[in-house]
Amino acid sequence: MEILEATLFLALLAGLLSVMLVVASRRFAVEEDPLIGQVNETLPQYNCGACGFPGCSGFAGHVVASRDPNAVCIPGGPELARRIGALLGMEVKVTAPTAAHVFCKGTNGVAVAAGEYIGLKSCIAADLVNAATKECPSGCLGLGSCVDACQFGAIRIIDGIAEIVEDKCVACAKCVAACPRNLIRMEPKGSKVCVECSTKGRGAAVKKYCQVGCIKCMLCVKNCPEKAIALVNETIVIDHARCKRHFQCIAVCPQKCILAIQLEVPELSKAEGGEA
Amino acid sequence: MNSAHAGFPRGGVHPAEGKELSLGPEVVPVEAPAKVLVQVTQHLGKPSKVAVQKGDAVRVGQVLATADGPISAPVHSPVSGKVVKVADVPVVGALQGACIEIANDSKNEGAEEFARRPVIDWSASGTFLGRIRDAGIVGMGGAAFPTAVKLSPPGDARVDCLVLNGCECEPYLTADDTLMRSRPQDVLAGAVIMASILKVGRILVGIEENKPQAISALTAEALGRGYSFSFVGEAPTPEIVVVPLRTRYPQGAEKQLIDALLKRRVGSGKLPFSAGVVVQNVATAVAAYEAVALGKPLFERVVTVSGGAVNRPGNYRVKVGTTLSALVEAAGGTKENLKAMIAGGPMMGKSLRALDAPVTKAFSGLLLLDDREARSFVETDCIRCGRCVEACPMGLSPCEITALAEFSQWESAVGCGALDCVECGSCQYVCPARRHLVARIRLTKLFWRRMKK
């Protein structure tokens, strides 16, 4: 008898609550643009935050609501931009794919080491106490703050410097913000010619702390047929849009700090050892 | 550990003192080297402005850089000679900093002005604050905050007590101890000058009990009140009490010292003004005395050079701008087993990579530690023993804050009081797992500042 009573009571309660739930879900339903769901489904779901919105769904909500043509899912690339454009029936800005690049090649042995760092293994923490692993004031500390910041496993520390695995890099730029020495910049994905040094020092001072440090001799700037190389804010920068791959800079660089990335460098007439 | 004397109420540690190493009979003067590097900005606040040019001839005590704004301080030439250049060179506490390089002609032109008989004109006490400001005096205990600013409390503050900080709780350092033992009259004269600026009638001198000679020298002076200098006008007679304190690190931290001496608490994020107190270091007091009685700007100080890897540890009177390598040379050079170099004390000092940086106004000590003193350890996981909680003088839970910081939970870490951390290092000193607690709390503060922006 008691069992029957309890069962009946619970069944009644369940029935009542289910009715309440049904009513509530009908009355308080939030209408969401079905487009948001569709856009969200096309997104990579990395939740990397490169777009500046909280996660992929946040980005989907924003583009659908504002139809902002400048809102771009960077990891998605041009392919995704076209699909979102088709869904929303509008032109979406298509950007050339980029990838992070570390502007330091001062590996152990090449860059002069500066004592033993025994503190917390984090470049940011080391930088806070002006500790360093190398004498170069703008060399890669190699303690892996960028590695910790990368959720795609696209960075590794090899021989004391950070290196980006371009295939894995989705260009979220988290590492750019994590590097206390601002050694990482976003560059066009794929082949390019880069000055692999970030020091602001000049001449003999640089030679004291690194074998491949840029000494600001300006030979690359003078010898570039396309005038694509310039001294910007005390570092040499190559304008990739203007670079026509003459490789003259690589041939003349006395420090061998200009490298061709994913490119075959032909035999260079001027070179005294032109291979990069 | 048991002591009849008062101390701050919670936390703290008592590391091996190592003070006997450098506690020689007297302060050894060091001649300025042929090339001095005077850092342009040697204080906490707005950077100073360079006032000399390449090729200028300078005299001892001449202004090299002027104060820029109210929270700033001028810098004066420690030698006579010629300005060679103004350039960025490695400095203590930063990778690079602007320094004025002077070729020292060793004639010390202008120094005779500061060697005359000191006179304090009490009838002109209104000018004292200006003289301290113009002398470029900053807190010489290490923080380097402009002293004149600290002596000008905000209008709503009711300051009733000047605390003179003679704790020197960092191991190895004996510069303040030596100063108190050798110049007790000047220490107290500086304190009376600062008390007259603050218009307070009470001076408490806090000294840890491991400096008995300093305590007795200052006590005798406070009772006798015989002045070595002549003075004009009526000298104020504030009550001076020398208080021996239980030896415990970090007694010399402002909040801990105020609690130990006066049983007053300075709230989280508040300044000592709020508790009616101004705290000044003993070396700062001597500098204030010299500024008022002699018109002498701050261009030299006593520095402890100590550690197992230095040949002649001791206290040295050096000119600001002397490179650390010249200082080490004066101390007889280093031994082969040199392992670590630290600017300041071993608990809170800054690790140095080279000795090319110059001595600054707030540079209290140079430690050259051997391989026995400076050992490195491997960090392991937290074992939840709670010893860091016991050691924290601010009543925080360092293990909890750093556990949150490890997972980038900056907001929660700040909620646990990370901003109250004074980075004294007591927690890390006692941690059996050798956790990098202070570094993680520093990271928390950095990311919190970035989030606030």
| pLDDT at res. A269 | 57
Rama region for B378: left / alpha / beta (φ>0; ψ in -120 to 50; rest): beta
| pLDDT at res. B226 | 56
Q: Determine the Cα–Cα distance for residues B171 and B373; give it in Å rounded to an integer.
A: 12
Helix extents (H) in B157-204? 175-182, 184-198
| pLDDT at res. B202 | 94
Judging by beta carbons within 10 Å of its beta carbon (0-12, 13-18, 19+), is residue B136 exposed, middle or buried? buried
The answer to whether the beta carbons of residues B61 and B113 sit under 8 Å apart is: yes
Instruction: Specify which residues B87 forms β-bridges with.
Output: B99
Show residues of chain B in contact with A179, CB under 8 Å.
none
Q: What angle do CA B117, B121, B123 make, to 5 degrees?
A: 170
Show residues of chain A in contact with B436, CB under 8 Å.
119-120, 125
Instruction: Specify which residues B338 forms β-bridges with.
Output: B370
* Interface predicted TM-score of the whole assembly (ipTM), two decimals: 0.86
CA distance A109 to chain B (A): 18
Burial annotation A186-203 (CB, 10 A radius, 16+ → b, else e): bbebeebbbbbbbbebee
Residue % of chain A over a pLDDT of 70: 97
Helix, strand, coil shares of chain B, percent, nearest 5, are: 30, 25, 45
| pLDDT at res. A273 | 43
Judging by beta carbons within 10 Å of its beta carbon (0-12, 13-18, 19+), is residue B237 exposed, middle or buried? exposed
Q: What is the pLDDT along chain A (276 residues), one digit of tens a residue?
A: 889 999 999 999 999 999 999 999 999 988 888 889 999 999 999 998 888 898 999 999 999 988 888 888 888 888 888 888 888 888 877 778 889 999 999 999 899 998 888 899 999 999 998 888 898 989 999 999 999 999 999 999 999 999 999 999 999 999 999 999 999 999 999 899 999 999 998 899 899 999 999 999 999 999 999 999 999 989 999 999 999 999 999 999 999 999 998 888 877 655 444 443
Q: What is the pLDDT along chain B (453 residues), one digit of tens a residue?
A: 456 788 999 999 999 999 999 987 789 999 999 999 999 999 999 999 999 999 999 999 999 999 998 999 999 999 999 999 999 988 998 888 999 999 999 999 999 989 888 888 888 889 999 999 999 999 998 889 999 999 999 888 899 999 999 999 999 999 999 999 999 999 999 999 999 999 999 999 999 999 999 999 999 988 876 555 667 777 888 899 999 999 999 999 999 999 999 999 999 989 999 999 999 999 999 999 999 999 999 999 999 999 999 999 999 999 999 999 999 999 999 999 999 999 999 999 999 988 999 999 999 999 999 999 998 889 999 999 999 999 999 999 999 999 999 999 999 999 999 999 999 999 999 999 999 999 999 999 999 999 988
| pLDDT at res. B61 | 95
Q: Determine the Cα–Cα distance for residues B33 and B319; give it in Å rounded to an integer.
A: 9
Residue type, B268: S
CA distance B437 to chain A (A): 9
C-alpha R_g of chain B: 22
Q: Among B88, B95, B427, B435, pick the best mutation site for testing chain A contact (most A Cβ within 10 A).
A: B95
Q: Determine the Cα–Cα distance for residues B320 and B249; give it in Å rounded to an integer.
A: 28
CB contact under 8 Å between A129 and B436, yes or no, is no
B375 has a chain A CB within 8 A of its CB: no
Show residues of chain B in contact with A135, CB under 8 Å.
353
What would the two tokens of residue B453 be?
């922006």
What would the two tokens of residue B360 be?
């600054």
Show residues of chain A in contact with B439, CB under 8 Å.
119-120, 122, 125, 128-129
Q: What angle do CA B422, B143, B268 make, to 5 degrees?
A: 35
Separate counts of helices (H) and strands (E) for chain B: 13, 19
Strands B314-319 and B300-306: antiparallel
| pLDDT at res. A92 | 78
| pLDDT at res. B294 | 93
DSSP-derived secondary structure letter, A266:
P
CB contact under 8 Å between B353 and A119, yes or no, is no
| Nearest CB to A125 within list B353, B376, B442 | B442
| pLDDT at res. A91 | 80
Q: Determine the Cα–Cα distance for residues B195 and B381; give it in Å rounded to an integer.
A: 50
The answer to whether the beta carbons of residues B261 and B6 sit under 8 Å apart is: yes
